[in-house]
Amino acid sequence: MAEAERIIGTPDTPDATGGGEERPDSEGTPAGEATGQPRGRRRIAVLFAVAAFAYALDLISKLIVVAKLEHHPPIEIIGDWLKFEAIRNAGAAFGFGEAFTVIFTMIAAAVIVVIARLARKLYSLPWAIALGLLLGGALGNLTDRIFRAPGVFEGAVVDFIAPKHFAVFNLADSAIVCGGILIVLLSFKGLDPDGTVHKD
């Protein structure tokens, strides 16, 4: 819990351990200097550009799958090892937890809110990419939850990528997983969203 609070922090207040001084970023520039603000805005722009790209890819792929593949036989891409097969998934990513659709919808919405809050102190390009992938993936599946049958906040997500001996998933799931892996790697390296590097 303490680690999460340290990463998210409070964007509008000075670091409690810094005696009111602003923390320098990884390049030695205080985050609040005039040169830091445009850089922060550029990182936010990257975040939303990555999110928009991931969301658009996911949305377009699902529209094509519903129109061309649903109610049709699967399409073999690499023999039996990889197929495209339209599946409606009421659970979480990769088909888990179908009895908790509304809960997963709320979690996706909460993730979007947290990312939006975290973006206010974003100065790291890798973090911008990672959070953009998470945001785009969360928005992609949340769109299905809201607008697809059987109803609002209970909609089934369209999955179609079906590897052999693995759960069927979609591009939004892939974006979420890639973003999550990148965040873990950045955390291990000690790089924070505000661009600072810490050593435990």
Catalytic residue among 25, 58, 173, 192: 173
Q: Please give the angle made by the CA atoms of 56, 67 and 109, to the nearest 5 degrees.
A: 40
- Which amino acid, one-letter code, is at 186? L
Residues 6+ apart with CB under 8 A from 153: 101, 102, 105, 145, 146
CA torsion through residues 102, 177, 76, 144, sign: positive
CB atoms within 10 A of CB 195: 24
Question: Is 194 part of the annotated catalytic residue set?
Answer: no
Helix (H, G, I), strand (E, B) or coil at 172: helix
Rounded Cα gap, residues 52 and 141, in angstroms: 13
* Residues belonging to the chain: 200
Q: Starting at the earlier edge strand, list the strands of the sheet with 75-78.
A: 75-78, 82-89, 157-163
Question: Is 173 part of the annotated catalytic residue set?
Answer: yes
DSSP states along 94-105: GG--GGGHHHHH
Residue with the two structure tokens 């303490």: 2
Catalytic residue among 25, 58, 144, 159: 159
User: Which residues are part of the catalytic machinery?
Assistant: 159, 173
